[in-house]
Amino acid sequence: MATVLKIGSDEGPTASELDAIDAEMPLIRAEIDYLDAVISVLDRDPTEVDTRRLRRARRRALDARRTLANRTMGPGEAA
């Protein structure tokens, strides 16, 4: 679901654009958590706890992506 924002010099996002952003927030938060987990192990070898954190964060991001796709796809629409 890609929404293109057209913002003029004194315009803000419309209500529908804000609703689209709001609908994507669980995915955005999950992807930020996953990115934080990845960044935390960039300069060192991941421990067992790090590996679990990465796996859980990735799973949450994938779940959020699936939930968003299932919610935005209507009957008969392809992903």
Residue 27 lies in a domain: yes
What pLDDT was estimated at residue 71?
Answer: 86
- pLDDT, tens digit (0-9, with 9 covering 90-100), for 7-25: 565 688 899 999 999 999 9
Question: Is 6 domain-assigned?
Answer: no
Asked whether residue 54 is domain-assigned, the answer is yes
DSSP string, the chain: --------SS----HHHHHHHHHHHHHHHHHHHHHHHHHHTTTS---HHHHHHHHHHHHHHHHHHHHHHHHH--TT---
Q: Is residue 79 part of a domain?
A: no
**What's the pTM value of the predicted model, to 2 decimals?**
0.71
What total of structural domains would you count in the chain? 1
35 lies in a domain? yes
**Per-residue pLDDT reduced to its tens digit, 55-68:** 999 999 999 999 99
Q: Is residue 64 in a domain?
A: yes
Domain of 55 in residue numbering reads as 16-71
